[in-house]
Chain A
């Protein structure tokens, strides 16, 4: 009898210990999850509340009734400086900026990465090293000459920013494509060349069809970085040319005028939404770009 019970309790106390540690583990994971999710939850909830209610109950509180008023005001009526057309024009500025800048820098990175891996010449390694040299350098080193260049071209607008993001995006896009293309066997290319395919024919018919995975990674990387970029946008554009991050700072920054927290929260969500959507839809590729972009560089 006694032997039987000890035999039964011994393993079960071990199991209890294991269960206890599993419980602690999951409690820790969930607590950490709260730490990361709460700031986002706060802006989302605040953006759905009315102004009087926020003033009465404070910023950190649950909405007593849901309203989309703040979203409407933030998108269409909130003021950036004296311009009260809402975040909409700045949102579209960023769209107009991010599409050409992403497309051009990705295409340039693809062709450069291809040329540097499949048509090696004397100095191609040096060429590559020089191209990615700027990857770690702080943007502060380039502020003055960039300002002078944009002044010279009188391009202190969206097109100037497109140019800048090509200047400083190429290092990353070239790195991504180069690291992908070195894994493609050279035999495929030499076989195609024997068949008479030229430089661009090989690129279009063989390399590009193999590239979708790295194109997705690069496009997501460039899209996220250009959309979220602030320093160049806030420094080199003014007035109605601001991209969304700079406009958001103008609305909500420490010097921002109005203190309508609902509207500010909605503006924050509007600015964050495109990159968050990309993250939710294609998080796998985002992480891949993040890990390879930071480790190899």
Chain B
């Protein structure tokens, strides 16, 4: 009896210390990874954007000079211009397609899991794969145009991928193909949480299905639309592999975007200063998006709480 009491009280002091040590040990990898991989690296990139680094990282500070100088690069102008064409259209096309698919699937469709699986599988393949396949389909000499010529429509033309003023729109097709199923999955999950009693009551009152969707169902899942908007806009900002595989930023630099600009300037053109400035501009854009998103969440929560 005494013996056990001594035994269990003796390790207790040790065990408190042991527990602390165990906690410390278990969090050390995460601490090191986060400190170096996120914060020191982020600081280093931002720091480099204030230097005159070219081929090698240097530490001569030149203030905000790069931040102004970059706007005199025609290629950067094209890249940012493309982002502001590509992002809104992609969000509208991909988001609209996804929402439409979710509403269609929500109509007590037979074998809905098969349709869902088919709509969503592009999310599981890599951008390089998706880009390669779509390049064939869109390429005039191998794809749709060639097929139509073979079917006898000799004057059929679909050469957007090879045209400087149209190539960026082909990126929208390919990336919407890859992501629409994801939007569908999110929106469908939301639709399934809507209270059926309210819908049934509205139907008893004689409201049409279209009205019920417009007035009751879709407004009640507004937070999901905001989340979709945020996710798609940051995917638009990060789009990289798919553009490279589809057009390689071309023809010329007609489909260049900031994400490609950064890598090219950094590793192919020895312009580290310019590259890091472009990366920081991407970061700033992301911060704007996050501010909008969290601002909305704050307002929405307040409204729900009231």
Contact = CB atoms under 8 A, between A and B. Distances in A.
Interface of A: 25-26, 28-29, 32-33, 35-37, 39-40, 42-43, 57-61, 108, 111-112, 114-116, 119, 121, 127, 130-131, 133-134, 136-149, 166-168, 170-171, 174, 196, 198-200, 224, 227-231, 235, 245, 248-249, 252-255, 261, 264, 268, 271-272, 275-276, 278-279, 283, 286-287, 290-291, 294-295
A130 B185 CA distance: 29
A280 to B, nearest CB: 8
A interface, by DSSP: helix, strand, loop or mixed? helix
B287 to A, nearest CB: 10
Interface string B275-288: 11011101100100
B291 interface: no
A276 B136 contact: no
Interface in B270-306: 272, 275-276, 278-280, 282-283, 286, 290
B96 interface: no
B222 to A, nearest CB: 14
B23 A119 contact: yes
A42 B137 contact: yes
B90 to A, nearest CB: 16
Interface of B: 8, 15, 18-19, 22-23, 26-27, 29-31, 33-34, 36-42, 44-45, 48, 57, 101, 104-105, 107, 109, 115, 117-130, 132-137, 142-144, 146-147, 150, 177, 181-182, 185-186, 189, 227, 231, 234, 237-238, 240-241, 244-245, 247-248, 250, 258-259, 262-263, 266-267, 272, 275-276, 278-280, 282-283, 286, 290
Contacts of A295: 186, 227
A81 to B, nearest CB: 17
Given A25-B107, A138-B279, A290-B182, 4 more contacts: A39-B134, A130-B38, A142-B45, A146-B41
Given A249-B245, A291-B185, A271 B45 contact: no
A235 B267 contact: yes
Contacts of A252: 132, 245
Contacts of B36: 149, 167
B126 A230 contact: yes
A33 B115 contact: yes
B18 A198 contact: yes
A112 B26 contact: yes
Given A29-B105, A115-B26, A145-B44, A254 B124 contact: no
Contacts of B33: 108, 166-167, 170
Given A198-B18, A254-B135, A136 B234 contact: yes
Nearest to B135: A254
A136 to B, nearest CB: 6
B144 A137 contact: no
B286 A136 contact: yes
A272 B23 CA distance: 40
A128 B101 CA distance: 36
B143 A59 contact: yes
Nearest to B227: A295
Contact of B121 (A40, A148, A230, A294): A40
Contact of B57 (A59, A144, A286): A144
